[in-house]
Structure 1
Amino acid sequence: MYELQVENMTCGHCVRAVTQAVQEVDAAAQVEVDLASKSVKINSATPLAPLKSAIADAGYPVTSAA
């Protein structure tokens, strides 16, 4: 389980875009987005780097990861 801080998320479209970006890398990934805290939790066996890159490429900078 990864927990990321992701900037520029403000609405449901952002949630869908981030979720789709992650699921393009790992179709089985479970993604939970919290707009209020700008956090994204990802349950995936895929390494973190390609997931972060996919989110950033969708226009949402990842500012921290745990």
Structure 2
Amino acid sequence: MSIEFQVPDMTCGHCVKSITGAINEAVPGATLAFDLPTHRVTVTGTDQADKIEAAIRDAGYEPARV
């Protein structure tokens, strides 16, 4: 299963690092893939979409599930 989010305000490597830390803390063991040009985050290895979305928001970003 994969969960995908559009994160329009994710623009650089620092953003990726912040979001990675937040998701890893909220859902340990999840696998993350980032596509900066399209502002997408794909998370696999978990079905906890609400928890992931909250973690991204807590990191200061505005995710929308795709």
TM-score by length of 2: 0.88
**2: CA distance, partners of 1:16 / 1:46:** 22
**2: CA distance, partners of 1:22 / 1:41:** 11
Q: How many residues align?
A: 65
**Percent of residue pairs bearing the same amino acid type:** 35
**2: CA distance, partners of 1:46 / 1:54:** 14
CA contact (8 A) 1:2 1:43 kept: yes
Q: Which residue of 1 aligns with 2:59?
A: 58
TM-score by length of 1: 0.88
* Structure 2, gaps ≥5 residues long: none
Alignment deviations for residues 34-54 of structure 1 (CA, whole Å, 9 cap, x no partner): 110000000132411011000
Runs of 4+ in 1 over 4 A off after TM superposition: none
CA contact (8 A) 1:29 1:44 kept: yes
* Structure 1, gaps ≥5 residues long: none
Alignment deviations for residues 16-41 of structure 1 (CA, whole Å, 9 cap, x no partner): 11111111111201111111000000
Deviation for aligned residue 1:7:
2.1
Superposed CA RMSD: 1.1
